[in-house]
Structure 1
Amino acid sequence: MLLKDKICVITGAASSHSIGRATAILLAENGAKIAVLDVHGGVVDAAAALAEQYPASGCMALQCDITSQEECEAARDAVIARFGRVDALIHSAGIMKPAKYNEISPAEYELVMGVNLRGTFNIVTAFATTMAAQKSGSIVNVASVAAQRGGGLFGGAHYAASKGGVLSLTRTLARELGSANVRVNAICPSLIATDFVSEAMSADRLDELSTAIPLGRPGRPEEVAGACMFLASDLSTYMTGATLDVNGGIHIH
C-alpha cells in the first residue's frame, strides 16, 4: 500500500462529500494512520465512521479552529502524543463566499481571508515545525483555480485573493523548508461537486458552469484526493513548490 503506516493529517474532513473526507478515505485505503481535523463537531462522527471502516487507520478526530494559532498547535501536539510523528498534512479546510467586489463587506473579507490565508499559515506552520525537526514530511495545500485565473467560476475577489496567498505561501515555505527535507506543494481544483457547491447553487446553474469546462462536468472530490495522495506519498519525493491543476481543463497554461 502506498502510504502504509504513514501518519497523515487531513483538514476539512467533517463533511461527507468534501475533498477532505475523500482524501481521508483514500489515504486510509492505502494504509495510512490518519487524523481528521475540522472546526465542526461533525468531525467526531467522521472519525468514528472512518475508524470503523478502516480499523488499521486508528483514525482520530481533532476539532480545531484554524484561525487560532493556539488551537492549531494543540492539534499538532495531540497527533504527536497519539502517533509519535507526522508524515503528511493535507490542508483542504476553507471557506467560500460568492460576491461581487462591491458587495463584499469588511466582515466577510476578514472572515474569508482569516480562514483561508491566516488559517493556512497557522495550521501549516504548526505542523511544519515538527516536520522540520524530524527532517521529513510533506505538506499539501488545496488552493483553487480562482487564484490562477482571477475567479470567474464561483467565489468572490476576496476568495481568489486568499487562495492566491496560499499559492505564494506554499512556494515560500517550499524554499525555506527544503533543507529540512520537508516538501510543500499545492493543488488547484476547479468546480468540484462537494456538499458546499451543491447547496450553494441549483443543478441548472451547475450544468451552465460546466459548459465552460473542456471535460464537460464538475470534478469529483475523489479526483482531487488522488492528487493529494500523490503529493503526500513517496511517488513525489522530488517535487516541492509545485502546483498541480485538477481542473478539467478550465485553465490551461
Structure 2
Amino acid sequence: MHVTPSRFSLIRAYSKAQILEQLRIPVAVISSVVFPSLVFLFFVVPQSSVTQDPLMSLESIAQLAMFGVMSAFLFGYGIGVAEERANPWSSYLRTLPVGPVPGSIGRALTAMLFSCLSLLPLLILGAVLTTAPDAFTSGTLHWWRLPAAILAVLICGIPFLAMGLTIGYLCTSKVAIALTQVLFFPLAFAGGMMLPPFLFPAWLNSLSLLTPSRSARDIAVQILTGHGLTAQSIPVLAGWTVLLVVLALWANRRDQGRRFR
C-alpha cells in the first residue's frame, strides 16, 4: 500500500540531507562559524572606547551577529543553490512531485542552525574581551534579552536567505558569485554593520532606513540593548521579507518549470 509522506516528514528529510551535506565540507562550516568572530577581533576589540562601554559593546555584538547571518545566508545559499542546480543529483530531486516548499523550508532551517552556531563564539568573545556582561550583572538590562536577541537575529535573517535562494535559482554559479558580492557589501555598509549609523550623513541615513539590512540591524540592537529601533524598522523588514520570500518561491517554481515541464 502506497503511503504519501506528510509535509513534516518531507521537511525533516530535506533538513537532514542539507545538514549532512554541509558537514561533509568542514572548511565551509568552520569559515562561516568563525567569520563574525574574526571581524569582532580585528575591528571591535582594538577600540577601547567601545569595549569599555557595556552598551556600545552589546551594540557591536548585535550588528556583527546580523552581519554574520546575512553573509552566511547570502553567500551560502546564493552561490550554493546555483552550484547545486548544475549537479545531476539535485536535478533528479527537483523532478520529484513534492513542490518547492519542503526543500525551501529545509534549507532555511539548516541555514538557521549553522548561523546559530556562528553566534556562539562571538558571544563568548564579547563576554571575555569587553565589558558587555556588566550591562546584565549591574541590572541595567535583563538576561532574557540575550536569547531573545539570538532568536531575533535568525528571524531577521530570513529576507537575506530568501534573497540568496532567489539568486541561486535564477543565476548560474558564476553570475551568482558576482551578484552576491555586488549586493552584500553595499547592503552591509548601508545597514550600519560596517559603520555606525550615527556617523551617516542625513541623505545616507534616510536611504539606509529603507534597506532590509538596516532594519534587521536596528531590531537586533533594540532587543539586545533596549535602544536603536526606528518607527519604520519593523514595517520595512516585514515588507522586504514577504517580497523576497515570494520571489524565492517563484524562482524555485520557475526553474523547475523551465527544466522539467
Task: Compare the two structures and name the one with the higher strand fraction.
Answer: 1
Shared fold (TM-score greater than 0.5)? no
TM-score, normalised to structure 2, is 0.32
Q: Which has the higher helix share?
A: 2
Question: Structure with the greater relative contact order (CA < 8 A, sep ≥ 6): 1 or 2?
Answer: 2
TM-score scaled by length of structure 1 = 0.32
Instruction: Tell me which structure has the larger Cα radius of gyration.
Output: 2
